[in-house]
Amino acid sequence: MPDQKIVEPRLLRGFRDYLPAQMNARLKMIATIRSVYERYGFQPLDTPAQEFRVTLMGYGEENTKQIFAFQNPEEEDVALRFDLTVPLARVVAQYPDLVMPFRRYQVAPVWRADKPDPGRFREFIQFDLDAVGVSSLAADAEILCAMYDTLKALGIERFSIRFSDRKVLNSLLDFAGITHERSHSMFRILDKLDKIGLDGVAAELTKGRVDASGDTIPGLGLDANQVGRIKEFIALPKGKRREALRSLEKLFAGVGSAKEAIAELTFICDSLDALGISEQNVQLDLSIARGLDYYTGPVFEASLDDAPEFGSVFGGGRYDGLVERFLGRTIPAVGASIGVDRLFAAMEKLGLHEFAPSTAKVIVTIMEPGQLAEYQKLARELREAGVNTEMYLGDEKSLGKQLQYANRQQIPLAIIIGSDEFARGEVTIKNLKLGGQLQDRKKAAHGKEREEWLALSRTVQQTCPLTRCVEEVKKMLAV
């Protein structure tokens, strides 16, 4: 097509591709999360990427600004979902026959017109779990336990799940003498504490500040006494759950509205203690605000201790009023959401992923093109036995080039059948993974290590009857 202009291949800002090695690692991560959610009895749900725009509106000015909105061919105002919780509320309202409590999980992409940061994208996968129709705070404690079990299952040891209660922040308004009309702005500023620090929060609560990009952030206009009380609250101890509770009770002793929040947090602490959930990983942090406006009770968020720059990777809370927009009545609900892409990026930085481009465990090399049907038959037998198998279909004819391809794809085993093997009814199975490991150890092997190296090297390649190929492959993969 000589007359056509070449189009430069490039990505939109805030979006990313996942090539096979990354995608395999991400799918493994998602499967691990799913297995934990299902152990808790949560059931799968899927909803459309697009919703009517009005469905997604009304959950805070910040969320409204982040919506990707447009008109469909029918000239209806639609938008891409910005999370999975609002569509869940729509589903609960639309299907009255759902069995309650409705415990669901959902993994799907969402879109936000947000400013991209490390691990923060405009299109990203969320993996949610929610319990709808249950008012007991035992559900909140269970969500916290599921968060704990999920991060442990992913192989993450050093993480912090922090929880609080949105009602604590409502009581903070009374304690600091701030009108509830200003609550949204104040909570939004407090939610940035980890990102901008105490000085940044104090500046935004008063006269405002200039951020790193040079943009002016307007201030809330609070006076020194109000900011001082907020600082007293922020300074409350974090970590040890009972100590934090006692400090909160002391600070809010004269605030009547704080009693309900303290009772809820006490219940959750009792539940976590009974379940043996360590304070090292699950801590009471009363300064948590959570950015979304629909939370009504306990809130939680998790971060990785060794990758703090990624911020919250798993968060949620109780949102008893979310369905009210659709039904005119409240339905209690609590849940949490993993930012899969952000968590994936954080785990990648920590070296917690295994990256392998291919899903195949075996490659059948082609030494005799005239015997293609026999190679196809063997590949099929392996697949029917549950072994992920690739038959080499490239243009390279030499065995060395085919094995080089297999090594680049990190396929652990190669099957070799040349003319001699066909004549004898045999097959050679080569352990490419072990061969690569031994090659790395060869130069450093001396004395006893050399003897061990020689013994192992004799197991890299073995020959067996063609009729036993599947059996031997399974044995080698099981080691």
pLDDT greater than 70 at residue 451: no
Q: pLDDT for 120-129, tens place per residue?
A: 789 999 999 9
- Write out pLDDT tens, residues 171-212: 999 999 999 888 888 888 988 888 899 999 999 999 999 888
pLDDT of residue 199: 92
Q: Options 3.40.720.10, 3.40.120.10, 3.40.470.10, 3.30.930.10; which CATH number does 20-349 get? A: 3.30.930.10
> What confidence tens digit (pLDDT) does each residue in 19-75 have?
999 999 999 999 999 999 999 999 999 999 999 999 998 765 566 778 999 999 999
**What distances in angstroms separate CA 292 from CA 94, 156, 282, 316, one per listed residue?**
23, 26, 21, 9
Instruction: Note every long-range contact of 120-125, with CB atoms under 8 Å and residues 24 or more positions apart, other chains counting.
Output: 120/311, 120/342, 121/14, 121/15, 121/16, 121/341, 121/342, 122/12, 122/13, 122/14, 122/15, 123/14, 123/15, 124/339, 124/340, 124/341, 124/342, 125/30, 125/339, 125/340, 125/341
- The single-letter code of the amino acid at 142 is E
Is residue 376 scored above 70 in pLDDT?
yes
pTM across the whole model: 0.87
Sequence ranges of the domains in the chain: 20-349, 362-478
- How high is the mean pLDDT of the chain? 91
d(CA 371, CA 331): 66
Q: DSSP alpha helices (H): ranges in 113-182?
A: 138-153, 166-176
3-class DSSP state for residue 213?
coil
Cβ neighbors of 171 (< 8 A, separation 6 or more) are: 252, 255, 257, 258, 261
Task: Please give the CATH topology (third level) of the domain spanning 362-478.
Answer: Rossmann fold (3.40.50)
**What was the pLDDT predicted at 457?**
60
Cβ atoms of residues 204 and 245 within 8 Å: no
Q: Could you tell me which of 449, 451, 453 has the C-alpha nearest to residue 435?
A: 453
Please give the average per-residue pLDDT across 252-269, as a whole number: 94
